[in-house]
Structure 1
Amino acid sequence: MKVEAGESSDIFYLAELKITPPPKESARWCRFDYRQAGRAYSRTMDCEVELTVAR
């Protein structure tokens, strides 16, 4: 899906993480590594992720 610069999208990413110590606060700045048309890319975006421990 192509999203033009300065635009937003209704697409959301879902990730499953293994966190060894209990998180103390939310995470800031998200890095996404992906491949497109055979080339590898890495993008860092401003985001905030609340980390919780599964019960």
Structure 2
Amino acid sequence: MTIGPSATDVFRHGLRLLLDKDDAGRIGLWHEDGALEFPFAPDPAADFTRSAR
């Protein structure tokens, strides 16, 4: 049975790709159906315009 890289190795590799600005390489680490979520993003329905103040 072949065991893949450790989580630490994958993290370090991803960090190296980030620092090298290798976007194609970073995208290659994701699953085809992967999603990046921002749980603390502002509510899209909120009105942050000046007129709301």
Query: What TM-score, normalized to structure 2?
Result: 0.20
- Name whichever structure is richer in strand by fraction: 1
Query: What TM-score, normalized to structure 1?
Result: 0.19
Larger Rg, first or second structure (1 or 2): 2
Q: Which has the higher contact order (CA 8 A, sep 6+)?
A: 1
